[in-house]
Amino acid sequence: MSEAMAAPAERETGLRHFWQRLREGGALMVGVPDYDRYLAHMQAQHPDLVPLTREAFVRGRMEARYGGSGTGKCPC
């Protein structure tokens, strides 16, 4: 593959990575939890445990953030 053909693909990958980080940062600023990151954490750190459903995860994060019964710790 020539350099001319590789450059657009590399730019597209860089832009995709930038957009993903921007989206994650925006979600964190408004308090939206990252379920995909939670799943990766669970698979890497706690493979023997069953992860929460998306709904249970979000509910737990919202309770922790807004003073519900959660402790504010990692839901795992």
Measured torsion, CA atoms of residues 29, 32, 35, 37, in degrees rounded to the nearest 10: 0
Position 74 scores a pLDDT of 62
Please report the sign of the dihedral spanned by the C-alpha atoms of residue 53, residue 59, residue 62, residue 67.
negative
Enumerate the H helices of the chain as residue ranges. Answer: 3-29, 35-45, 54-65
Position 47 scores a pLDDT of 95
Predicted TM-score (pTM) of this structure: 0.52
Instruction: List the chain pLDDT tens, one digit each, 76 residues.
Output: 555 555 777 778 888 889 888 888 887 777 667 888 889 999 999 999 999 999 999 888 888 777 765 455 665 6
Distance CA 54, CA 51 (A): 9
